[in-house]
Amino acid sequence: MYGNYSNGYFNAHPWFTPQPQPQPHTTGVNAPTSQNNGSRPFPPQQPVTSSSTSSSSDIVQALNDKSTEELQRLLLDDDAYNTFLQNSDAVRQIDSLWKEMSNRNVELAKQNLEKESEIFQLKNQCTVIRTTELAAAQERFNEACKKQADLRARFSPGVLIERLQEAAVKIDNDSEDLFNQLLSGGMEINEFLKRYRELRFVYHKRTLTRLAAKSSGLTPGC
């Protein structure tokens, strides 16, 4: 409607399309020209809608206050056209808003540049953590996992059952050796009975424990 605004200037576009005006009959060269009711020639205006702003209304009012010669000059003289627009409140408000937005964009750009340095420092810190603290923590974690795996392998149900069986066999062999000592006369009967009962008690205890573990589903290799 008002032309393209760039670099503080407007490209001139006609504000209205001039309409041919009827020329009254004159008797002299210098006779004044006029229309009905003595009003200056001006094209009919479009009705103002509810969305029209006060700034645009001010421009329209300023145009209404100009003579036909002044309006024609605005149409033909780009400098006069730009001067009129730059002096209007609406254009000043637009120019002020544009400058405010430009300054705000510059401020945001500066803030982004400041954040860029902070982000770079944080990236360096993350790199240091990954190469030093994280690597050491990962190594400790791997060692702990290895120890856990060793303990689970040593004390797994299958391994414990096998150890119970080995311990029971050893006790059985010890009691057999003790009996042979009695037969060879190397041990008194009272001492033999005491030690033999202790060995057999441990043997049966370990054997029953192993059988209970196997019957519960715990087998070697589980």
The answer to whether 104 and 21 have CB atoms below 8 angstroms apart is: no
**pLDDT given at position 169:** 92
Extract the tokens encoding 4: 């393209």
**Residues in contact with 63: Cβ distance below 8 Å, sequence separation at least 6, in sequence order:** 15, 71
Provide the H-helix boundaries in 77-188: 78-86, 89-128, 134-154, 157-183
Q: How many domains does the chain have?
A: 1
Q: What is the pLDDT of residues 157-216, one digit of tens each?
A: 888 888 888 999 999 999 999 889 888 888 888 988 999 999 999 999 989 988 888 887
Backbone angles phi, psi at 31, to 5 degrees: -70, 135
Q: Is residue 120 part of a domain?
A: no
Q: Is residue 19 part of a domain?
A: no
**Which band of pLDDT confidence, cut at 50, 70 and 90, is reported for residue 219?**
low
Q: Is residue 65 part of a domain?
A: no
Rounded to a whole number, what is the largest CA-CA distance in the chain? 173
Give residue 163's domain range.
155-215
Q: What is the pLDDT of residues 56-113, one digit of tens each?
A: 677 777 778 778 888 888 888 888 888 877 777 777 888 889 999 999 999 998 888 8
Please give the model's pTM, rounded to 2 decimal places: 0.35
62-71 contacts, C-beta under 8 A, 24 or more apart: 62/88, 63/15, 67/40, 68/40, 68/41, 68/42, 71/15, 71/16, 71/42
Per-residue exposure over 91-101, b if at least 16 CB sit within 10 Å of its own CB, e if not: beeeeeeeeee
Q: Is residue 208 part of a domain?
A: yes
Q: For the chain, what is the mean pLDDT?
A: 75
Q: Is residue 129 part of a domain?
A: no
Q: Is residue 207 part of a domain?
A: yes
pLDDT higher than threshold 90 for residue 144: yes
Q: What is the pLDDT of residues 16-38, one digit of tens each?
A: 444 444 444 444 444 444 444 44
Strand partners, 10: 5
**pLDDT given at position 12:** 44
The answer to whether 39 and 68 have CB atoms below 8 angstroms apart is: no
**pLDDT given at position 32:** 42
pLDDT higher than threshold 60 for residue 145: yes
